[in-house]
Amino acid sequence: GGMAFDPDGQLERIELAAPELVARLDALEARVRGLHDSLAALRFPGRWGGPVAFRAGRLPLLARVGAGRCIVTGAYAGHGVALSLRIGRLIAEAIADGTALPEWGQLEATPSA
């Protein structure tokens, strides 16, 4: 429905009754009602919001861990439905064909203590 942040830029502290967020949710509901005639009178019994996972550069995580035997993914920045199909295919190809995972999803090396 659109990202909203509190005055300090913190998504976790946004007030669900804030005018900006209410306007965004109203617009989202109107958009859904406009998708098809059968949705025009659709009632929304509730609204919700919450933090969305982001990484630096807003790129999703898609990497091998644990000596390469485990593949992890996440941080889709609110685009999980769309990205999950593509990332699922990348993971399947990595498992079935040994195809390398894309560089953009790799974990950054953590410095040694």
> Mean pLDDT of residues grouped by 10 in the chain (113 residues)?
66 73 88 94 83 76 89 84 89 95 80 42
Torsion of CA 77, 81, 87, 88, to 10 degrees: 150
The encoded tokens of residue 83 equal 């990205």
pTM, two decimals, is: 0.56
The encoded tokens of residue 56 equal 């630096």
Q: Tell me, what's the pLDDT at 110?
A: 47
Per DSSP, the residues of 21-53 read HHHHHHHHHHHHHTS-GGGTT------------
